[in-house]
Amino acid sequence: MNYAIEFAGLTKRFEQVAVLDDVTLTIGKSSLVGLLGRNGSGKTTLLRHVVGQLLPTAGIAETLGRTTSDLRRDEFERIGFVPQEIRLLDWMTVSQHISYVRGFYKRWDSERESRLLDELELDGNMQVGALSTGDVQKLAVVLAVCHHPELLILDEPVSNLDPIARSLMLEFLLEVTREDDATIVISSHVLRDVERIVDWVVCLNHGRVMTDEALDELKERYAEWHVTKQDGKLPASFTESFVVEQEVNGREARVIVRSDGADAESFRAAYSCELVVRALNLEQLFPVLIGGDQA
Amino acid sequence: MRSLLAFTSLIARPATFLWGALAVIVVTIAVVGVQEPDVPVLIASDYALLVCFGYPFVAGTLAGMALREFQSSSFAWTLPGVRSRTALGFLACALTLSMVVVALTLSGDVTQNLVLLTGFGTASFYLGAVSVHPASRWLGFASSLLALLVVFESGHMARLIDTYLLTSVSLTAVLTGLCMQQLFGLSVFRGMPSIPTSPMAGAFSLNASLRMERLKLVTATHTHVDELPAGFDHSIWSWVRAAAYESYGPQPVKVALRSISRLGLLFCLIVLHTLLEPRSVPLLEMIGKITYDALFRPPYLAAIGDRPPYVAVSLWIAAMGAGIVFATPLALRSKLLYPLARRQRSQIAHRASLALGATFAVLMAASFLIVGHLAGWLADYPLRMDFIPFFVRPLLGTLILLPSAQYAAVLSLTSNFTKQYGAAFLLIMGMTAFVTVVLAWSFLLPSVLTLTEMVLSAALLIASQFVYRRALEKRYTQADLV
Amino acid sequence: MLIAVDTSSGVPVYRQIMDQVRFHISTGMLEPGDAIPSTRSLSAELGVTPMTISKAFSLLEAEGLLDRRRGLPLVVRARAAEQVQASKLEALRTALGPIVTMTRQLGVASRHATELFRKLLEDSQE
């Protein structure tokens, strides 16, 4: 069991609608994975399978080496989970809620707890019901990380945070990977944030895994070429297999390619054109990653 | 110790058990006081069962609400050992509580079997929890029925338990086991956090902006986003129809009939009451007689049995009223922004309340009349209309008080779970007081509505509506709405 | 050693780090024997995962720019003069690539371009 999460042929249907469709995915230990996809692409459903809250219609789901339907106390001691829709006990105060949750775990890092409360500016005497959505989100993260989980699942953990809190939260998550050697899976729409901390990217679209690759690898492989031809016209479209997206306009073209450096030379030679290569960041890559990529 | 705390700290909310205790004491005194004014409440043997069952039951409903709230919280599922710990803490609460209650109640009476009563108390704690928990509807229904039986037929039940001791103990044990399994089942813990808080996916006036694929998917069975009511013309009644559409979906009549079907439980209770009574005539005829008497209480017939279920009937009418107001209110969704001025919203709210009250009154009266006359036919009574049926006065009383409940419901839209928690018990106490007053009213006055009574009722009805309307206007124009 | 990374750039962070360390070595800001900050401290400073840093460092080590000694921080390796010269030219070559493309796109003759480059160099020396 070298994987923190292992899905094989996982399919989940709600009322005949397949929300996850034959997902095969492994997430290794001590990696920081970004789970990306548009609304309704199945991210939350996937993460709920990880903690065994949903059970697959077909296929296998394992977390920390155990089938998710039989996860028990030992595994939950090692998992931290921040769900997308956070519902806490509104009538408790922040510190009551923390000590309530603490009672369930064998180990609890009070130092991390107080430092986080301090850094995130959460008031222990506030009632949970009176907290703003952002503060609830912060509290949910505090509740999920103080037992030093090996596997931390975060479903949109920063969506309601202001830029400063978001930055603090991301710093903290990086620290968690450094200190605990934890595996973190984080789903988010804020690609800039994901890009900052993750080293692996999984993209879902309509319940299918479209991309499952290291972020560095993606950035190296994909590039945008600005093609110009001094004399004569470019063909109406390029048929090379490494061209993922293209926009040709007479003597000028903009193509997105998935290739290594060698292709550029041969392309230049074949069309006797000029190439300006531009690297793509995650935000620019995202439409490509959820769309065309069949890798 | 830590395991026990996992549940007990959930119900450690201040005032929780205080409300419960107050409610039970009031209910007990009222029920016993109305039925047998000369019996001291806490000493007579069959009332011991009532109290030892009743208090844990009410406390159990509170515990069940706390458990439900906890289980539907999204952080609960991943807590290590959450099921075993809460189950253990829950059991500890049930045992402690029933022991305390038994000890307190029976100090003057040595003939009771303490262990047995503690057992029943523990069981009723679980039954109470199941009755408010969505885990199993059937078990909830059964437990409510059982609780009602013990409350209204405690004499009969005590006798039954004495006669069939072993059977009743084993039945109770099986029922409790089922409750435990339903309350702490894996699927409950797994499933409840993923149930969306609001079952309906949106309101028609904003449907375009609310089309969330994911929510629609999960709530596929409840969604009616795409169906617009025909003939919407922005008049107040049109908006009331819209409110009906948003509250009950495209078939409001179905919802109304479904909520009236809860009267079935009352008729179950009456039939069970008949079964427990000693009888000299065929069963069907007996059921007819008792039902006719319970609903109509005609002046020319003597009451049958020593405790006819009048209390149950009047309490039921009040409970049905509270039920439609709080469980299936007719209102526009409170958190959405409609193209309506605040004053218009208050008018719509009032008109909707009127419509709901009228529907309630008509449906209740119709079903009582139909069932009562059917029962009279079964019992071979001649058809007579020259008296005012018993149920009319409780119904009138409920209609007079309905606006205050509706106003409380409007207020509760902006309050949190904790406040609603205490309000539930205020409601129980209010209903109990109401039943006592209504029964006194019915028993003391002749079976024909006097002119004064009629004028007074009409005046009160109009006055309560007027006050309600003013209160709504004030609230909608001056208070925060979300 | 000053390193700045832009996580939202399309260039992988480990490459940005490698390029900057290489540049520092070529310019002589980092001299042979100088210690490189530890993976942990640099990752905390830059706000990127430790894996990214160690990837960059081990690739630099494989290139022969850094030396790893057991239990001690990484240090800049001493290299022969011709190797240093070669890597300096390599850095310049990479930087000139886009200029060459642009020259061709603009249709400027190589003769004029080299003349311009030479002139710019001479001007900056004055």
| Same domain assignment for residues B167 and B248 | no
| Same domain assignment for residues C72 and C95 | no
Instruction: Tell me what pLDDT residue B425 has.
Output: 62
Residue B203 maps to a domain: no
Query: pLDDT tens, B35-66?
Result: 555 544 433 455 667 777 877 888 888 788 78
| Same domain assignment for residues C66 and C92 | no
| Same domain assignment for residues A138 and A227 | no
Question: What residues form DSSP beta bridges with A66?
Answer: A63
Residues of A in contact with C54 (CB under 8 A): none
C82 — pLDDT class (breaks 50, 70, 90): confident
Instruction: Tell me what pLDDT residue B30 has.
Output: 61
Instruction: Tell me what pLDDT residue B19 has.
Output: 58
More confident residue, B229 or A39: A39
CA distance A30 to chain B (A): 20
| Same domain assignment for residues A85 and A222 | no
Asked if the model's pLDDT at residue C103 lies above 60, the reply is yes
| Same domain assignment for residues A28 and A77 | yes
B424 — pLDDT class (breaks 50, 70, 90): low
Residue B210 maps to a domain: no
| Same domain assignment for residues C40 and C70 | yes
Residue C2 maps to a domain: no
| Same domain assignment for residues C70 and C87 | no
**CATH classification of the domain holding A195:** 3.40.50.300
Among B126, B160, B194, the domain-final residue is B194
Q: Are B107 and B220 in contact (CB under 8 A)?
A: no
Coil vs helix vs strand at C75: strand
Out of C11, C40, C107, closest to residue A178 by CB:
C40
Out of B194, B212, B417, closest to residue A53 by CB:
B194
Would you mind telling me the total number of residues written for chain B in this entry?
482
| Same domain assignment for residues A172 and A234 | no
Query: pLDDT tens, B369-396?
Result: 999 999 999 888 888 877 888 888 889 8
Per-position b or e across B262-276, b if 16+ CB within 10 A of its CB? ebebbbebbebbbeb
Asked if the model's pLDDT at residue A110 lies above 70, the reply is yes
Query: pLDDT tens, A253-274?
Result: 898 988 877 788 888 888 888 8
CA distance B414 to B418: 12
Q: Which of B4, B68, B74 to mutate to test the interface with A (most CBs of A within 10 A)?
A: B74
Task: Give the pair of three-digit tokens for residue A128.
Answer: 């949970």
Max avg pLDDT among A106-110, B42-46, B147-151, B412-416: A106-110
Task: Check if A171 contacts C (Cβ < 8 Å).
Answer: yes
| Same domain assignment for residues C69 and C39 | yes
| Same domain assignment for residues A73 and A183 | yes
Domain tally for chain C? 2
Q: What average pLDDT is seen over chain A?
A: 88
| Same domain assignment for residues A265 and A175 | no
CA distance A13 to chain C (A): 36
| Same domain assignment for residues C39 and C86 | no
| Same domain assignment for residues A105 and A199 | yes
Instruction: Tell me what pLDDT residue C122 has.
Output: 92
What average pLDDT score do residues A266-288 get?
86
Domain tally for chain B? 2
Residue B218 maps to a domain: no
Residues 59-78 of B with CB under 8 A from A: 69-70, 72-75, 77-78
Residues 6 or more apart whose Cβ sits within 8 Å of residue B444? none
Instruction: Tell me what pLDDT residue B353 has.
Output: 93
Among B194, B218, B249, the domain-final residue is B194
CA dihedral sign, ordered B348, B352, B358, B359 = positive
Q: Note whether A219 contacts C10, CB cutoff 8 Å.
A: yes
What average pLDDT score do residues A57-70 get?
92
Residue A295 maps to a domain: no
Instruction: Tell me what pLDDT residue A150 has.
Output: 92
Q: What average pLDDT is seen over chain C?
A: 87
> What is the interface size between A and B, counted as CB pairs within 8 Å?
94
From A162-166, B126-130, B305-309, the region with the lowest mean pLDDT: B305-309
DSSP class of residue C35? B
| Same domain assignment for residues A202 and A227 | no
Q: Note whether C8 contacts A284, CB cutoff 8 Å.
A: no
Which DSSP string corresponds to B225-243? TTPPPTT--SSHHHHHHHH
What average pLDDT score do residues C66-88 get?
85
More confident residue, C51 or B198: C51
Out of C9, C13, C105, closest to residue A228 by CB:
C105
Residue C69 maps to a domain: yes
Q: Are B423 and B412 in contact (CB under 8 A)?
A: yes
What average pLDDT score do residues B232-238 get?
77
| Same domain assignment for residues B268 and B187 | no
Instruction: Tell me what pLDDT residue C111 has.
Output: 92
Residue A212 maps to a domain: no
Q: What average pLDDT is seen over chain B?
A: 76
Residue C33 maps to a domain: yes
Asked if the model's pLDDT at residue B198 lies above 90, the reply is no
Q: Which of A193, A197, A216 to mutate to test the interface with C (most CBs of C within 10 A)?
A: A216
Among A206, A226, A247, the domain-final residue is A206
A114 — pLDDT class (breaks 50, 70, 90): very high
What average pLDDT score do residues B22-26 get?
61
Residue A36 maps to a domain: yes
CA dihedral sign, ordered B92, B93, B96, B102 = negative
Residue C8 maps to a domain: no
What average pLDDT score do residues B313-342 get?
80
Residue C3 maps to a domain: no
Instruction: Tell me what pLDDT residue B448 has.
Output: 62
B31 — pLDDT class (breaks 50, 70, 90): low
Instruction: Tell me what pLDDT residue A60 has.
Output: 93
| Same domain assignment for residues A170 and A29 | yes
Instruction: Tell me what pLDDT residue B235 has.
Output: 81
Residue A213 maps to a domain: no
| Cα separations in angstroms, B231 against A280, B82, B242, B246, B296 | 54, 52, 11, 16, 42
Instruction: Tell me what pLDDT residue B20 has.
Output: 57
Instruction: Tell me what pLDDT residue A293 has.
Output: 42
Instruction: Tell me what pLDDT residue B187 has.
Output: 85
Out of A48, A74, A89, closest to residue B73 by CB:
A89
| Same domain assignment for residues B170 and B309 | no
Instruction: Return the residue of A nearest to B66 by Cα.
Output: A89
CA distance A248 to A227: 9
Q: Closest Cα partner for A188 from A213, A217, A219, A153? A: A153
CA C87 to chain centre: 9
Task: Give the pair of three-digit tokens for residue B11.
Answer: 């119900």
Instruction: Tell me what pLDDT residue B227 has.
Output: 46
Residue C7 maps to a domain: no
Query: pLDDT tens, A135-161?
Result: 999 999 999 999 999 999 999 888 888
Asked if the model's pLDDT at residue A95 lies above 60, the reply is yes
| Same domain assignment for residues B10 and B143 | yes
Task: Give the pair of three-digit tokens for residue A117.
Answer: 């409360």
| Same domain assignment for residues A240 and A97 | no
Residue B212 maps to a domain: no
Q: Note whether B212 contacts A39, CB cutoff 8 Å.
A: yes
Task: Give the pair of three-digit tokens for residue B55.
Answer: 């208090």
| Same domain assignment for residues B330 and B438 | yes
Out of A19, A55, A88, closest to residue B73 by CB:
A88
Residue C116 maps to a domain: yes
Which DSSP string corresponds to B90-130? HHHHHHHHHHHHHHHHTTT--SS-HHHHHHHHHHHHHHHHH
CA distance C67 to chain A (A): 24
Instruction: Tell me what pLDDT residue B220 has.
Output: 43
| Same domain assignment for residues B182 and B299 | no
| Same domain assignment for residues A184 and A233 | no
What average pLDDT score do residues B81-96 get?
89
Percent of chain C whose predicted confidence (pLDDT) is above 70: 99
From A19-28, A42-51, A86-95, B250-259, the region with the lowest mean pLDDT: B250-259
Domain tally for chain A? 2
Instruction: Tell me what pLDDT residue B22 has.
Output: 60
Residue with tokens 């009549």: B253
Range of the domain at A279: 218-290
Instruction: Tell me what pLDDT residue B447 has.
Output: 60
Range of the domain at C31: 13-76
Chains touching B (3+ CB pairs < 8 Å): A
Range of the domain at B325: 236-478
| Same domain assignment for residues C26 and C62 | yes
Instruction: Tell me what pLDDT residue B433 has.
Output: 74
Among A177, A206, A235, the domain-final residue is A206
B112 — pLDDT class (breaks 50, 70, 90): low
Instruction: Return the residue of A nearest to C52 by Cα.
Output: A199
Residue A249 maps to a domain: yes
| Same domain assignment for residues C117 and C71 | no
Residue B204 maps to a domain: no
Query: pLDDT tens, A188-236?
Result: 888 888 888 888 999 999 889 999 999 888 888 898 988 888 777 888 8
Asked if the model's pLDDT at residue A124 lies above 70, the reply is yes
Max avg pLDDT among A246-255, B307-316, B428-437: A246-255
Instruction: Tell me what pLDDT residue A279 has.
Output: 87
Instruction: Tell me what pLDDT residue B211 has.
Output: 33
CA distance A239 to chain B (A): 36
Residues of A in contact with C52 (CB under 8 A): 199, 216
C78 — pLDDT class (breaks 50, 70, 90): confident
What average pLDDT score do residues B312-337 get?
80
Residue B31 maps to a domain: yes
Asked if the model's pLDDT at residue B204 lies above 50, the reply is no
What average pLDDT score do residues B182-198 get?
76
- With vertex at residue B432, the alpha carbon angle to CA B426 and CA B435, rounded to the nearest 5 degrees, is 140
What average pLDDT score do residues C84-93 get?
88
Q: Are A199 and A281 in contact (CB under 8 A)?
A: no
Asked if the model's pLDDT at residue B29 lies above 70, the reply is no
More confident residue, B361 or B213: B361
Asked if the model's pLDDT at residue A1 lies above 60, the reply is no
As a whole number of Å, the end-to-end CA separation of chain B is 41
CA distance B119 to B125: 10
Among C76, C96, C111, the domain-final residue is C76
Instruction: Tell me what pLDDT residue B195 has.
Output: 60
| Same domain assignment for residues A38 and A169 | yes
From A193-207, B75-89, B219-233, the region with the lowest mean pLDDT: B219-233
Asked if the model's pLDDT at residue A123 lies above 80, the reply is yes
Q: Note whether C15 contacts A215, CB cutoff 8 Å.
A: no
